[in-house]
Chain A
């Protein structure tokens, strides 16, 4: 598949996460903690993982749920699995 530019991927993931956590996109900086700064709960983390799987047609195992902590981590995890496709 064609490589997705990191910049675009970051934008897409930010928008997807903003919708689930229900916060403004500007607040989702690369390092803002989803739980402490943005009020994410464990169900929202699962929803983010499921939404990423659906959008990019990936299968991300459960143990990667712990990496849904900030945008940087989500970006790296998504890139890792896109690379495995």
Chain B
């Protein structure tokens, strides 16, 4: 199943300029999420990171991975009618393998390692054109708003 930006906004509480998922290519309930963030080069952070030499900050790659993890978790964790949830990042253990430059499609893959009712640990990878640029694990929790 695929998700468009409107579907994504139903799941993620983040909004521009801090929404780091544009499209979901694969959405396999409880098993896998493959998402895309288009890096245009017009993002504000490139102005300072770094002037004349734009490189996507690693922490924002982690943010994109974490947002893809929320989409995965939303397929697993039970939801109660009328309740809103906030997700928080508890730990990230990510290795960066290649720099990410503007005008690229950042592909994020997330799979569960252990997900329980209020928290989870996922395995995640980021790719540019099928070349891996970052990989690792992310732990997150969920609370009622």
A residues touching B (Cβ–Cβ < 8 Å)?
42-43, 46-47, 49-50, 53-54, 62, 65
Q: How large is the interface on B (under 10, 10 to 19, 20 to 34, 35 or more residues)?
A: 10 to 19
Main secondary structure, interface of A, reads helix
Chain B stretch 70-127: residues in CB contact (< 8 A) with chain A: 90-91, 113-114, 116-117, 119-121
Q: Decide if B141 is an interface residue (CB 8 Å cutoff).
A: yes
Task: Determine the distance from Cα of A54 to Cα of B121 in the docked complex, in whole angstroms.
Answer: 12
Contacts of A65 in B (CB 8 A): 116
Bound CA–CA A46/B115 (angstroms): 9
A46 and B113: CB pair below 8 A? no
Q: Are B91 and A43 in contact (CB under 8 A)?
A: yes
B139 at the interface (CB under 8 A from A): yes
Contact A50 B113 (CB under 8 A): yes
Question: Once the chains bind, are A50 and B90 in contact (CB under 8 Å)?
Answer: no
In Å, the complex CA distance between A65 and B121 comes to 14
B115 to chain A, nearest CB (A): 9
8 Å CB interface, B35-50 against A: none
Given contacts A43-B91, A43-B119, A47-B139, could you give 15 more A-B pairs where the C-beta distance is less than 8 Å? A42-B119, A43-B90, A43-B139, A46-B114, A46-B116, A46-B119, A46-B121, A47-B91, A47-B121, A49-B114, A50-B113, A50-B114, A50-B121, A62-B117, A65-B116
